Amino acid sequence: MIKPHGSDTLNPRFVYDTEKHHQLVREAESLPSLLLNSAAAANAVMLGAGYFNPLEGYMNLADALSVAKDMRTDNGLFWPVPILNLTRESGIETGQRIALRDPNVEGEPVLAIMDVEAVEAVTDDQLQSMARDIFGTLDPEHPGVATFTGLGNTLLSGPIEVLNFSYFQDDFPDTFRTAVEIRNEIQERGWEKVVAFQTRNPMHRAHEELCRMALERLDADGVVVHMLLGKLKEGDIPAPVRDACIRKMVEVYFPKNTVMVTGYGFDMLYAGPREAVLHAVFRQNMGATHLIVGRDHAGVGDYYGPFDAQAIFDERVPADALEIDIFRADHTAYSKKLNKVVMMKEAPDHDKDDFVLLSGTKVRQMLSEGIAPPPEFSRPEVAQILMDYYQSQNK
């Protein structure tokens, strides 16, 4: 099986030992507390689940600046995006042991315990420099930039011990899986070549066929559809609706034991190319040998070129940095000439009118009016779930 990134074995920061877990829960009651922001809480969940292996906790300022600029920590570990605990709170001191509280769960329970190795002030110039490196823009309208630059100017770094997975296990018990659990299931299924498909949207025909193409062309054993379950920008489809759509599509249109439907607890960064590389890192940690990287992967608006997220693997990712491989996908659409979904670059004898192409705005309008998109664009079973959702929002 493919090795995790940066180590021979996966080392999740969740405390699995029952006795130690109880001990830490008791200890947390007497510790100073810090209420995390959602971004830092999502990082804790990913550290606990093993997705951010081999990191043990939050990065310090030197590592953060180095990762943002060069995609390497100070000690040379390849890493594409700083993993931070930025806060507006003061009063935390170096050397303290503190309880990190969850802002996304009622009652703000303890999410993790942190050994604070450093408390550092981050200047606005440093925040902007990192944001420019990560997102490729400082436009405050970019949702990732707006979030990152508004988290605070105090950086807490150090290892953490994670005690729960926030709301993800309770809200998505059939879907949320840790990297540990996915690795175990891959082994149980006997899969060796495994394709990961990243999504924050429901899967239409083009997405479905892209997974099928990757399965066939790579002669892979299976696909892990791995959906983001955390915070999105306003207007994106809620996770429960996406989950229902994807499960219905897999149930009806894929052979048994070829697709795992899973999800992970993280807030979307909308960082385009940098986030695509982060996706590759944590898909390697969960046991995937290949990641589908498609058109405008992890992008938003017009901030990135359509294939920037593929080009970064050639231009910025050293050949020995990752073991996972990339399956490069072009824009896919239904061909009226061939009566099937194709990658558009593989149909040179087609013009635009030969494809079934619908804008996201047009699809949302149709669904909200109770009109199903054509079956060449969306499976009818999936379209029905989406129509029910959009019409419920209009009441």
Q: What is the pLDDT of residues 152-198, one digit of tens each?
A: 999 999 999 999 999 999 999 999 999 999 999 999 999 999 999 99
Please tell me whether residue 116 adopts helix, strand or coil conformation.
coil
pLDDT at 233 over 80: no
Peptide bond into 103 cis (omega under 30): no
Average the pLDDT over each of 143-147, 217-221, 356-360 and give the range with the smallest value: 356-360
Comparing CA positions, the residue from 388, 352, 353, 346 lying closest to residue 367 is 388
Question: Which of the following is catalytic: 11, 72, 97, 201?
Answer: 201
With 0-12 CB in 10 A as exposed, 13-18 as middle and 19+ as buried, what is 72? middle
Comparing CA positions, the residue from 324, 311, 306 lying closest to residue 274 is 311
Amino acid code (one letter) for 214: A
Q: Would you state the structure tokens that stand for residue 14, as one six-digit string?
A: 């969740």
Question: Which of the following is catalytic: 132, 189, 200, 364?
Answer: 200
Long-range pairs for 255-259 at CB < 8 Å and ≥24 separation? Answer: 257/189, 257/222, 258/215, 258/221, 258/222, 258/223, 259/211, 259/222, 259/223, 259/224, 259/225
Domains and CATH numbers, the chain: 18-169 (3.10.400.10), 175-393 (3.40.50.620)
Comparing CA positions, the residue from 40, 33, 26 lying closest to residue 101 is 33
How many whole angstroms separate alpha carbon 81 and alpha carbon 71? 7
Average the pLDDT over each of 45-59, 215-229, 234-248, 307-321 and give the range with the smallest value: 234-248
Q: What is the pLDDT of residues 84-97, one digit of tens each?
A: 999 998 899 999 99
Amino acid code (one letter) for 38: S
With 0-12 CB in 10 A as exposed, 13-18 as middle and 19+ as buried, what is 330? middle
pLDDT at 395 over 90: no
67 and 287 Cβ atoms separated by less than 8 Å: no
Q: What is the pLDDT of residues 257-289, one digit of tens each?
A: 999 999 999 999 999 999 999 999 999 999 999
> In angstroms, what CA-CA distances link 165 with 14, 100, 104, 109, 110?
9, 13, 11, 11, 10
Share of the chain above pLDDT 70, in %: 100
How many whole angstroms separate alpha carbon 18 and alpha carbon 150? 37
Q: Please state the rounded mean pLDDT for residues 351-355.
A: 92
Q: What is the pLDDT of residue 393?
A: 84
Please tell me whether residue 389 adopts helix, strand or coil conformation.
helix
Contacts of 33 (CB under 8 A, 6+ apart): 98, 99, 100, 101, 110
Vertex 162 angle, CA 122 and 13, to 5°: 90
pLDDT at 236 over 90: no
pLDDT at 362 over 90: no
Q: Would you state the structure tokens that stand for residue 229, as one six-digit string?
A: 């379950």
Q: What is the pLDDT of residues 10-53, one digit of tens each?
A: 999 999 999 999 999 999 999 999 999 999 999 999 999 999 99
184 has catalytic annotation: no
pTM of structure = 0.95
Share of the chain above pLDDT 90, in %: 88
153 has catalytic annotation: no
Question: Would you say the C-alpha torsion 195, 225, 232, 204 has a positive or negative sign?
Answer: positive
Please tell me whether residue 26 adopts helix, strand or coil conformation.
helix
Task: Kindly indicate the confidence band of residue 212, based on its pLDDT and cuts at 50, 70 and 90.
Answer: very high
DSSP 148-213: HTTS-SEEEEEEEEE---TTHHHH-TTTB--HHHHHHHHHHHT-SSEEEEEESS---HHHHHHHHH
